[in-house]
Every structure is written in C-alpha cells, then in structure tokens.
Amino acid sequence: MLQDQYQRVHDYLRISLTDSCNFRCNYCMPDEDIQSMPNAHLMQADEIEIIAKKFVDLGVKKIRLTGGEPLVRKEFPQIIQTLSKLPVELTISSNGVLIDKHLNALKAAGIKKVNISLDTLNRESFRKLTNRDQFEKVWENINLLLENKFRVKINVVALNGIIEKEILDFVALTKDLPLHVRFIEFMPFAGNLWNKDKVLTAAKMLEMVKKEFKVSKLKDEPNDTAKAYQAEAHLGTFAFITTMSEHFCGTCNRMRITADGKMKNCLFGKDEMDILGALREGKDIEPLIRLSVRNKHAALGGQFTQDYTKAEADKIENRSMIKIGG
Ligand code: SAM
Ligand code: SF4
C-alpha cells in the first residue's frame, strides 16, 4: 500500500504516454513553439509495463493513460493491450480525434470508460481554442463511443469569457445523450497565461444552470474530484471540478508518471522522482516510489493556497500541462 504522511492511500496512477499532441489548446501548451521529447527519452512500451506492474503490486487499482494526446503514441495499441492484462481499471483521456482509428484496440483491451476533452460545441470557437478545425470529427467520435456503449465523460475547461455562452448548451446535451459533462476550473501551469480573472468558479456556473434547469445533487464517491449534478429527466449528468475554488486534496489518491518517466506526486508539485532513470540503471524503483508518495504536500503541491485569487502563476514552479500529463 502507498500511504503518505497524511494517511492518504494512493491507488490511482495516471501515465502520460507522450508529450506530443495533434491539437494546440492554448490553455494547455506554452505560448512559444513547443518541442516534443525525443523518443529515446520516453518510457518505451516494455518500460511502461514494468513500471505499471510495480505500481499495481504496491496497491494501484486504477490506471489512466493520458498525455499529450495518448492516441498519437505509435505503440498505443500494444501498450493498452499489455496493460489490460493487469488487475486494474484501465481508462484513457483523449481529445477524441483519433478514437475511430483506435476503437477496436480500446474494445479489445476491455476499456469501458473514456474521457474526451471538448470545450465548446461551436465549430469556430473549437478551431480557435485548439488551433485545429476538427469539431465534426470529435463530435462523430463521441457518438461512436456512445453507440459502442462506452461511458463517456466530456471534460470542458471553464474559461471565463468563453464558456458562459455554452454552459447551458452543454447541460442541455445531457437531456437525450447519456454523457457526463465535467466543467473544470481553469488551472495555472507554466506558460498558460493563467490569471484569476480567467477562472469561472463552479459556484457561478451552478447558479447559471439553476436559473434554467431544475437540478439535483448526486452522491459523490470518496475520491471523486468532481461534484456531480443531474438536471431533471436528463439521461446524462454534469459536474464541476473545483480545483481552484474548493480543492479536494484531503482525499487525493492520485500519482502521475510523465512521458519521460518522472513521478509526480501532485499535479501542482514541482518535485519529480526519476523512476525511468533508476529503472534504466537497474535499480529497484520501489523505494523511490514510496519516498515520492511520503513527501507529498498536504495541498496544491505546496505552491499556492485555498484562496486562488492570490495565486501568482509566474512564481509557480512546474511543467506545462502537456508535459505533465493531465
Ligand atoms: N489530450 C488529452 C485530452 O485533451 O484530454 C489528454 C491530456 S489533457 C492535458 C488532459 C485534460 O487536462 C484535458 O481534459 C484538458 O482539457 C485538461 N487541461 C489542460 N490544461 C488545463 C488547465 N490549464 N486547466 C484545467 N484543465 C486543463
Ligand atoms: Fe492536446 Fe489535450 Fe493539451 Fe489539448 S488539452 S493541447 S488536446 S494535450
């Protein structure tokens, strides 16, 4: 079991397969031209398997593959097939554009749940946010996942000034489609031009939704990061991930491995443990994993406080989101 100094048991691992992406979401990537890591720096398929197995031996029950865009990793089908043999719940986060290409691999690996990022339902806004004209393809692929009985969560980054116009449209979407929309408060990472005025809080969004829909609160599970609701007579649900306005660090069970094999015990933490380097030197990685978990800060990587309006984005030491693995 992996337990930190605050008695939090860590049983959920997010593995980034790549820091490359076929989209250019401006809240995720630094403004300047981003260089992807050379292949030799990435965990190779066999190394991912060894590292994942070690975490499972230490009590991990759920693994999410992320990135960058995990589906652009050439060996994705092979990696997911191998990991599907481990006794864990396996899921992925994707921008959705390559889902049709990998549908059979997802099914063969027994994947049941997929998170798709989609910040707008408007083609032109989509093009501006992602720098790619792929709204239709992503929307088709979301429907393809539903037709194939996947449980689909839609991740919407709640950018103040952009999302307000669409919150009600996203909730309306859950009337006839069994989609689970999650509005994520905009978080600060290196180079993403975060400032407090760009954060639209869950409380404000809920107020907007309640003016239009009759909603009820759903029960959240202990380690859930989202606070879930359902509009009356809707098939799907909606939820808020309140990282900025009301963090949920007290029940955090998550750890991350970056595509270059560095363990991060917190999304916002600057500390990294070189798991891949140790593995390549033939060392035992277990003590490093345990040390990383033990050293985890109580909240928000120790880099800012509950009052997000006081966060100073340029003083936070961290990677950009695309290089962490969201
Ligand atoms: N490419 C995949 C995708 O877009 O889902 C996986 C990686 S992406 C980094 C994972 C998630 O992080 C996405 O849902 C994305 O919207 C979210 N994300 C990226 N930057 C963010 C930020 N600054 N604040 C909140 N969420 C962010
Ligand atoms: Fe790529 Fe996902 Fe980041 Fe968008 S949010 S740039 S799709 S990794």
- Cα 223 to the center of its chain, rounded Å: 15
pLDDT for residue 171 is more than 80? yes
**Does residue 206 line the site of ligand 1, with CB under 6 A?**
no
Question: In which element (H, E) is residue 145 found?
Answer: helix 135-147
Range from 176-180, 197-201, 252-256 carrying the lowest mean pLDDT: 197-201
Q: Indicate the residue type of 321.
A: M
Residue 45 is predicted with a pLDDT of 97
What is the DSSP secondary-structure string of 83-131? HTTSSSEEEEEE-STTHHHHHHHHHHTT--EEEEE---S-HHHHHHHHS
Nearest ligand to the C-alpha atom of residue 156 = 1
CA 260 to each of CA 18, 21, 51, 172, 316: distance values in angstroms, whole numbers, following the listed order: 8, 15, 12, 40, 21
CA of 129 to the centre of ligand 2 (A): 10
Residue among 148, 158, 68, 75 at smallest CA distance from 107: 148
CA 24 to ligand 2: nearest atom: 6
- For the record, the structure tokens of 162 come out as 């952009």
CA of 173 to the centre of ligand 2 (A): 22
pLDDT digits (tens, 9 = 90+) for 222-277: 888 899 999 999 999 999 998 888 888 888 999 999 999 999 998 888 889 999 99
Tokens found for residue 119: 């910040």
Q: How confident is the model at residue 32 (pLDDT cuts 50, 70, 90)?
A: low
**Residue whose C-alpha is closest to residue 103's, from 156, 172, 149:** 149
Ligand 2 nearest atom to the CA of residue 130, by list position: 4
Of 324 and 159, more confident: 159
Closest atom of ligand 1 to 243 CA is 25
Nearest to 266 by CA among 311, 313, 218, 301: 301
Indicate the top mutation candidate among 20, 21, 28 to test ligand 1's pocket, ranked by most ligand atoms within 8 A of CB: 28
Taking only Cα atoms into account, the Rg of the chain, rounded to an integer number of angstroms, comes to 19
What does the block give as tokens for 10? 């860590």
Residue 309 CB neighbours (<10 A) = 10
Q: Whose CA is nearest to atom 22 of ligand 1?
A: 187
At 120, list the tokens. 């707008």
How far is C-alpha 306 from the chain's CA centre? Answer: 21
Which residue in the block uniquely carries the two structure tokens 């140790």?
278
Written as one letter, the residue type at 277 is G
Q: Which residue has the higher pLDDT, 314 or 226?
A: 226
* 33 — pLDDT class (breaks 50, 70, 90): low
Q: Which of 18, 27, 29 to mutate to test the pocket of ligand 2 (most atoms within 8 A of CB)?
A: 29
pLDDT tens digits along 77-90: 999 999 999 999 99
Measured CA distances, 187 to 204, 277, 285 (Å): 16, 29, 31
The angle subtended at Cα 22 by Cα 269 and Cα 112, nearest 5°, is 75
Whole-angstrom distance, CA of residue 265 vs CA of residue 170: 32
The amino acid present at 49, given as its one-letter code, is: E
In the reported structure, the alpha carbon of residue 283 is separated from the centroid of ligand 1 by a whole-number distance in angstroms of: 33
Question: Does 243 contact ligand 1 (Cβ within 6 A)?
Answer: no
Nearest atom of ligand 1 to the alpha carbon of 322: 9
Q: Whose CA is nearest to atom 19 of ligand 1?
A: 28
pLDDT in tens, 105-123: 999 999 999 999 999 999 9
The reported pTM is: 0.94
- The CATH fold of domain 12-152+249-324: TIM Barrel (3.20.20)
Distance (Å) from CA 26 to ligand 2 centroid: 8
Tokens of 104: 């059979």
How far, in Å, CA of 267 to CA of 303, rounded? Answer: 11
Q: Is the pLDDT of residue 319 over 80?
A: no
Domain boundaries defined on the chain: 12-152+249-324
Q: How confident is the model at residue 302 (pLDDT cuts 50, 70, 90)?
A: confident
Give 158's strand partners: 185
Task: Determine whether the shortest distance from the Cβ of 27 to ligand 1 is under 6 A.
Answer: yes
Q: What percent of the chain has a predicted confidence (pLDDT) above 90?
A: 73
